[in-house]
Amino acid sequence: MDLAALNKVATAMTTPGKGILAADESGGTIKKRFDAIGVESTEENRRDYRELLFRSEKAMHNRISGVILFDETIRQKAADGTPLVKVIEAAGSIPGIKVDKGAKPLPFCPGETITEGLDGLRERLIEYRELGAKFCKWRAVIDIGPGIPSHDAINANAHALARYAALCQEQDLVPIVEPEVLMDGDHTIERCEAVTEWTLKTVFQELYYAKVKLEGMVLKPNMIVPGAECATQAPDQEIAERTIRVLKNCVPSAVPGIAFLSGGQSDVEATARLDAMNRVGGFPWHLTFSYGRALQHAPQVAWAGKTDNVSAAQAAFSHRAEMNGLATLGKWTPEIEKKAA
């Protein structure tokens, strides 16, 4: 393991002013996205859509530090025959890969899941590294509901995250460690805060046991928000302050950067809350974004599967990337959002 090289990549991934594009939707997920815009989810259409993102010069060069790919995408070539990994690198961005096999029901824990994919992971990591990946991602899912999460669900997912992260570092790949406490449900912001703190403390305990070097990883957590169906929603400032408080209580300063997931928040909500955190300041890590829907919804709608719409889709993507890039610096405002739209 080359820790200096891992730290260099992790630091570059969370560079102030830039963030990570999560373009790692599974086949089922991207089909849902394409169904919503009336586009058939064929391999060619998926390739064309992702290529238009990766060739969005303004966004990729200025605001996107890394791109998380799906297994299909890391093997694909652009329309002109250039491997998509090379297109990403040419734009000055770092290619990465999602390596988990998805969340499956956890035995004897109704409503809870465990993320699978550890079997054969070492061999897959070697192949992905040879295909050009510099970092990986593994997502664990923690749900809040009556009687859950359970100790078993949090511990099992934290242990799997740590085993994955150790295998990545063994192969000189930076692990993105993603424990996501879902915003589904009607739970309060206080409940989200308590569960997120429990989850993160358990994750970092397991990372320590697994001998994962914190200097060579990136954390991808949820923000502290009320459940989407909670009667009492919270202002951005409260979300920012609670999120920073939990991170300070749980995340060692050795971690180079934290890249938040959007988790079902709207485009502007995800931007505004990231900006609010960076305005609060007073933390040792770089806080940035690793968004999927919050970066891609607007370009998908603008594209709608039509070649004539590629420029409009790239403009929509560049706008969202620019707004989130400003948020990593604490320089986004609603006025800038409206003016630039």
Catalytic residues: 178, 220
Q: How many Cβ atoms are within 10 Å of 43's Cβ, its own excluded?
A: 11
Which tokens is 222 given? 């949820």
Q: Evaluate the CA torsion angle 208, 212, 215, 221 in order and state its sign.
A: negative
For 158, list phi and psi in degrees, rounded to 5. Answer: -65, -40
DSSP 8-state assignment for residue 146: T
For residue 148, the SS3 value is strand
Place of tokens 């998926």: 46
Q: Look at the chain and count its residues.
A: 341
Hey, which bits of 148-276 come out as E strands? 174-181, 218-219, 257-260
Which tokens is 281 given? 């300041």
Helices 121-131 and 151-170: crossing angle in degrees, nearest 10, is 50
CA distance 236 to 274: 9
| b/e sequence 126-151, b meaning 16+ C-beta within 10 Å | eebbeebbbbbbbbbbbbbeeebbbe
Residue spans of alpha helices (H) in 67-148: 71-74, 84-90, 121-131
Which tokens is 179 given? 């424990």
- Please name which of 179, 242, 245 lies closest in space to residue 234, comparing C-alpha atoms: 242
